[in-house]
Structure 1
Amino acid sequence: MTIRNAEPKDAARILEIIESAKLSIRALGIDQWQNGYPNMESVLSDIENGIGRVLEENGEILAAAAVYVGNEPTYDRIYDGAWLTGNNTYGIIHRIAVAPEGKNRGAASAMMKYCAALSREAGVSSLRCDTHPGNVIMRHTLEKNGYRFCGTIYLEDGSTRVGYEKTI
């Protein structure tokens, strides 16, 4: 498996993977990603901003995510807990999605390891991520990869998410 920057030619495949992930999330009975987001606009924005990544195996894209080092404004406040660090800059993974044929093959974990390596290279000492409280699959993946539950955050639209952080 290799991870590379996403290119405009990858956009349709990335959106296909995201749409499949939306179905899986809907099957969990939760509303995450059920309002039209992420969409082609967000995929193209990630590519344009240089944060879109794809994981390939034998030339086939199996996973995609927005991976970068920076600051997420919705992480500025956390409730019913605390971040592990007071860092203002950290590694971030958003919009991670794995194709059905990539599931249970370590694709999501590989993307998280890539984010950790990117973060180390940038000189930051932690990674943050969030997900819907009911997204048990993502929560398990985060915990399996050394992330710790830190508390509740709220998105700009008021949606509740659970925040995770990992020190590196």
Structure 2
Amino acid sequence: MFRHATMRDLPQMQAIYEHARHVMAANGNPTQWGSTFPREAVVRDDIANQRTMLLVDHRGGKERILAQFALCPGEDPTYASIEGAWLDDDAYVTIHRIASSGLVRHAARDCITWALKHYGNVRADTHPNNKAMQHVLESAGFARCGLIQLNDRPTDTTRIAYQRHEW
């Protein structure tokens, strides 16, 4: 089941992001999120603006967050310049800050599948060292469109850009 996050979810979400940072670092990707990304202010803003979606289940009468992601409608300024080419210039949503709790397998894939079902034209990007996310996106049918440069940090800015458009 998917639902919007609320501020009550923030502590659990922060723990999931911490888990994701450790998993990324242990798998050869220590710099994509470093030790502080995403900043709490960004997560709070995502929640306040109804951008954060949670994949949840219920076990033993208690809800568990299995994965979370920001679903950002409208043009992403970071995607205005690409070394390569997007599939099209149609309206799209962007998946950012996706993280799995590690409680179940394929949670990130389930989030991406949900976004495609509900929005049809989805873009995402990931670090060149994030082999796990590259695999998830490519196995979900996303095309590797090229390289983009993040504009919110001074170093380690290159990301692989992906898009899938359900025609």
Common fold by TM > 0.5:
yes
Residue-by-residue CA offset, 1:85-137 (whole Å, 9 max, x unaligned) = 122x20211000001212x2x211221122123314xxxxx210000011000
1:93 aligns with 2:127: no
User: What does residue range 31-50 of structure 1 map to in structure 2 within 5 Å?
Assistant: 31-50=31-50
- SS of the residue aligned with 1:100? coil
Match of 1:65 among 42, 65, 69: 69
- SS of the residue aligned with 1:83? coil
User: What does residue range 100-111 of structure 1 map to in structure 2 within 5 Å?
Assistant: 100-102=102-104, 104=105, 106-111=106-111
2:139 is aligned to 144
Match of 1:162 among 160, 163, 167: 160
Count of aligned residue pairs for this structure pair:
158
Question: 1:20, 1:94 → 2: CA distance?
Answer: 17
Residue-by-residue CA offset, 1:61-107 (whole Å, 9 max, x unaligned) = 1111001321111111111x2111122x20211000001212x2x21
Normalised TM-score (structure 1): 0.89
Cα drift, residue 39 of structure 1: 2.7
2:28 is aligned to 29
Residue-by-residue CA offset, 1:20-68 (whole Å, 9 max, x unaligned) = 0001111123310005110322211110011011110111111110013
- SS of the residue aligned with 2:103? helix
Normalised TM-score (structure 2): 0.89
Matched residue type, 1:16:
A
- SS of the residue aligned with 2:123? strand
Question: 1:10, 1:45 → 2: CA distance?
Answer: 13
Greater CA drift, 134-143 or 20-29: 20-29
Question: 1:8, 1:135 → 2: CA distance?
Answer: 29
Q: Which aligned segments of 4 or more residues in structure 1 are displaced greater than 3 angstroms?
A: none
Matched residue type, 1:72:
D
CA RMSD between the two structures? 1.3
Question: 1:5, 1:117 → 2: CA distance?
Answer: 16
Unaligned runs of 5+ in 1: 121-125
Question: 1:132, 1:4 → 2: CA distance?
Answer: 27
Match of 2:85 among 79, 82, 85: 82
